[in-house]
Amino acid sequence: MITAGIDCGAKTVKVVILKDDKVIGKAIIPAGIDTKKASEEAFEEALKEAGIKKEDIDKIVATGAGRADQPFTKDSVTEVSADAKGINFLYPNVHTVIDVGAEESRAIRVDGKGMVMDFAVNEKCAAGSGAFIEAMARALEVTVEEIGPLSLQYKQEIAMNAQCAVFAESELVTLVHQQTPKPDMARAIHAGISDRIVSMARRAGLEPDIAVIGGVAKNPGFIDCLNKDLNTKVIVPDDPEFVGALGAAIAAKEI
């Protein structure tokens, strides 16, 4: 059986094509201002990689904030459901999955079968998402890809008081005036968002093993802070941003 999952996120659209429990194609395209167009592009690319045609797919399920904007299917699952199924498929020993995306983040506690036990969501505040890191990277004049590794070179731990991305930017300006080294500021930024994510995750319950997915999981600075705050080593799957789409593809098998 061939199924596909499409995750329409705030920043990117992800597609995963699954054949008999094996991922045969995937693609990630920036959502831009036209989610419909982006999802069509992502689908095209994933099909090419899989070497199949759209007609070969038995079922498609969508997820993500923009799931109503894609033209392929009317079947959808919530991001919470998709994440739970996706992580359970990859790591059945994981009981807490933390998904940090571009504009939203969530923490989900699952049982051994991928059923959702409890969850917490942060969706209206930029400070608990990738948007925060993006804004801070801009303020420090580095790229989003650079800021993570940069933070690992910190010498001193400084605390940032601001909880809001807008205020944090002003706080950064003050730190720059005081000639704080960039790695230290980068570290403080990651420590701040990690603290917020952990606060949110506690609400859902932190049961090991803990996995982190979503685009921000690719940031080594963020993962390092999380490990420190959670006093453990979190599991980061390969291609962490695709777990949602993978979960949707798995949900498609169950329809």
**Buried b or exposed e, range 151-187, using 16+ CB within 10 angstroms:** beebeeeeebeeeebeebbebbeebeeeeeebbbbbb
**Buried b or exposed e, range 96-127, using 16+ CB within 10 angstroms:** bbbbbbbbbbbbbbbeeebebeebbbbeebbb
Is 68 a binding residue for other proteins by CB under 8 A? The answer is no
Report CA-CA distances (Å) from 219 to 47, 85, 146: 28, 23, 9
Q: Residue 17 half-sphere exposure, CB side, CA atoms within 13 Å?
A: 22
**Distance (Å, whole) CA 136 – CA 175:** 12
Min. distance of Cβ 166 from other proteins in angstroms? Answer: 4
Nearer CB in complex with other proteins: 59/196:
196
Strand partners, 81: none
Is the preceding omega at residue 195 within 30 degrees of 0, hence cis?
A: no
Total residues at interface with other proteins (CB under 8 A):
28
- Contacting residues for 229 by C-beta, under 8 A, at least 6 apart: 194, 195, 198
40-48, 60-68, 90-98, 132-140 -> range binding other proteins (CB under 8 A):
132-140
Residue from 111, 167, 208, 255 binding other proteins (CB under 8 A): 167
Nearer CB in complex with other proteins: 68/173:
173
55-63, 84-92, 127-135, 148-156 -> range binding other proteins (CB under 8 A):
127-135
Strand partners, 60: 4
**Given the DSSP bridges, would you call strands 59-63 and 2-8 parallel, antiparallel or unpaired?**
parallel
Nearer CB in complex with other proteins: 89/132:
132
Tell me the per-residue interface mask from 97 to 126 with other proteins, x by CB under 8 A, - otherwise.
------x------------------xxxxx
Tell me the per-residue interface mask from 8 to 37 with other proteins, x by CB under 8 A, - otherwise.
-------------------------x----
Q: Which two structure tokens, joined as six digits, stand for 177?
A: 């005036």
Span 178-207, contacts to other proteins by CB under 8 A = 178, 199-200, 202-203
Min. distance of Cβ 147 from other proteins in angstroms? Answer: 14
Nearer CB in complex with other proteins: 139/251:
139
Asked if residues 69 and 55 have their Cβ atoms less than 8 Å apart, the reply is no
Residue from 55, 141, 157, 238 binding other proteins (CB under 8 A): 141
Residue from 37, 91, 163, 207 binding other proteins (CB under 8 A): 163
Q: Which residues bind other proteins (CB under 8 A)?
A: 33, 103, 122-126, 131-132, 135, 138-139, 141, 163-167, 170, 173-174, 176-178, 199-200, 202-203
